[in-house]
Amino acid sequence: MTVAEGGLEAPEVLTMLWDLSATISPAFSPSAWLMVRGSVIVGLCSLVKAPTDEGVLMIGYGVAASARHQGIAGRAIAELLDWARSDPRVTAVMAETAIDNIPSRRVLEVNGFTRTGNRTDEEDGDLLTWHLSL
């Protein structure tokens, strides 16, 4: 496989995601997924923290700039939700989006997520929070 033109994410973000997966995987697996088109890796999706005892997953996702606005994230999240619905450990999925990230908000809306609130993160700024009960 190859990686999408321009890469997926900044090296420090990829390192952070690798470390996150290494931390979460011993307790819950799978914890990360590749978005692939043909033989090209075009995006990533992962748990961003360990699931709650109640089975709530918090996900994050991103698509390479060269592959955006093509429905890739929407299809990937739909497939992730299909998997989650079949896993008895999972009861709900949550996500957060930047307030001004309309395409990411649309991915969640199309997949049935409901906006549940707002919060401010020191690193990421103002965020919208989303929830989907399974």
- pLDDT given at position 15: 87
CATH 3.40.50.300 fits 2-133, yes or no: no
The mean per-residue pLDDT over the stretch 18-41 comes to 93
Residue 32: pLDDT band with limits 50, 70, 90: very high
3 DSSP β-pair partners: 41
How far is Cα 109 from Cα 74, in angstroms, rounded to an integer?
Answer: 9
**114-133 pLDDT, tens digit each:** 999 999 999 889 999 999 99
Mean of pLDDT values over 50-59: 95
SS3 readout for 57-111: EEEEEEECHHHCCCCHHHHHHHHHHHHHHHCCCCCEEEEEEECCCHHHHHHHHHC
- Distance from C-alpha of 110 to C-alpha of 106, rounded to nearest angstrom: 6
The two three-digit tokens of residue 39, written as one number: 């033989």
Q: Is the pLDDT of residue 87 over 90?
A: yes
pLDDT at 10 over 90: no
Mean pLDDT of the chain: 94
- Bridge-based pairing of strands 40-49 and 32-37 is antiparallel
Percent of the chain with pLDDT over 70: 100
Q: How far apart are the first and last CA of the chain?
A: 33
Taking CA atoms, 91 is separated from 55, 64, 132, in Å, by 5, 29, 9
Average pLDDT over residues 12-24: 89
Q: Is the dihedral of CA 113, 114, 120, 125 positive or negative?
A: positive
Higher pLDDT, 123 or 78: 78
